[in-house]
Structure 1
């Protein structure tokens, strides 16, 4: 199944390889800003990005600024970026684009969420471009539940229209409603991709995986229910899969040029 799927997507005329970052290219870590892609994942990404008619993009829930830090991404990079679940963008040769149209009361709500969990051991609030995330990776179950209840109550009372997303030990709240499915659709249109590979590891990646169509390839990294055709165990296994896609794509390019 995997070999056939790789061979099929590698034959597409213009390929988009879109990848989540945390838990997909980089192992999950307790301190979010220390996350870095595995060396073998970086090598595979570089191979793919260097191929003709092949575009690589990182599609993350991270704010664009934070994504650029953890991805060690600079203005010379060929890798396209979609941050904040597709609400922020960076394209080669252009500046990042987003609309920081914060609604009234957003700053006060985020500050109150920080105060609500300040005394909850192992819980903290991450400010994001369009809202915030409650992290509970370092909290025990009781503390995590208490923090989530407190923040949920705040948002339900004062910002019921904000989008709520759950992930591994994180709950995110945003006044923008874009998802990774809309990010993939935008990238597909901008790049003119005729085939898409998307890989992700969490619940928030399933929107993108469900949006894929015939001729695309969805990859789930790790466990959990998924719409992906292929599952790999961890970021190291994904790096091997990306190398296989690069091998197949290189062979396809060589065959076209022969």
Structure 2
């Protein structure tokens, strides 16, 4: 992060810091529910939360219930949450923002999830993760050929029965959902709700690029790790991301004491 980038964010009147979770604050895990923030990342997030005029949100593809577990998030937490790529919101003081789900969408979700589980049950290392608005196929524990067979089989089911669903890919995962919101929508909604003058968004995967591309001139996008990106800043890993956030928190706090 350049001095100009830092100065711009330090000087923002009200700043939204929106952060992906897996791969950005917490190492990727073979068993996804074991993911937890690295201690240095937790310290950085806590420092930002304590900084005046700074709002911190976790923006994840995880279902909100799962995100709350892995983020160790309770009802008293000041962290805003956007789960399911922004289709679910949790706000301090009010909790879950209600959303109307069409019973027909839920019924189709359950039917297709059952079919996906059936066609992948015999494939070692391939498993189906239930999500509120769909499901995901995990292949991290499978060899390349088996993982491809699993994805292809589920792709065929969704194409034939729900061609309007949104498909996303990430680190050894393919996700399918009847809601089409992306993380760009989550950042926009949080920015509006919080009256933020500027935003920082950080992520490590393809699904984070929606949000990174949506940022404006006064914002900052950060990519954690390798890969093509719209972000203007790249950091090597989670500790480097934590160091960037800690520096931002320290300098914003100092500026507000002056």
TM-score by length of 2: 0.97
How far has the Cα of 1:203 moved from its partner?
0.2
| 1:100 and 1:129 in contact (8 A); partners too | no
| Alignment partner, residue 234 of structure 2 | 231
Compute the displacement of 1:107 (Å): 1.0
Shift of 1:251: 2.0
Work out whether 1:39 is the aligned partner of 2:39.
yes
Give the Cα–Cα distance (whole angstroms) in 2 for the partners of residues 105 and 46 of structure 1.
Answer: 40
Q: Distance in 1 between matches of 2:89 and 2:18?
A: 13
Once the two structures are TM-superposed, the CA of residue 144 in structure 1 deviates from its matched residue by 0.8
The match for 2:7 is: 7
Q: How far has the Cα of 1:96 moved from its partner?
A: 1.0
- Cα distance in 2 for partners of 1:156, 1:226 equals 28
Correspondence list, 1:20-169, <5 A: 20-97=20-97, 98-102=99-103, 103=105, 104-169=107-172
SS in 2 for 1:181: helix
Q: Does 1:191 align with 2:194?
A: yes
Q: How far does the alpha carbon of each residue in 1:171-193 deviate from its partner, in whole angstroms, 9 at most, with x for none?
A: 00000000000000000000000
CA RMSD of aligned residues (A): 1.0
Measure how far apart 1:252 and its partner are: 1.8
For residues 143 and 53 of structure 2, the distance between their equivalents in structure 1, rounded to whole angstroms, comes to: 47
SS in 1 for 2:222: strand
- SS at the partner of 1:156? helix
| Runs of 5+ unmatched residues, structure 2 | none
How many residues end up aligned between the 2 structures? 255
Deviation of 1:140 after TM superposition, in Å, equals: 0.7
Once residues 51 and 235 of structure 1 are traced to their aligned partners in structure 2, the CA distance between those partners, rounded to angstroms, is: 21
**1:86 and 1:182 in contact (8 A); partners too:** yes
User: Partner of 1:105: helix, strand, or coil?
Assistant: helix
TM-superposed CA distance for 1:2, in Å, is: 2.3
Structure 1 SS opposite 2:95: coil
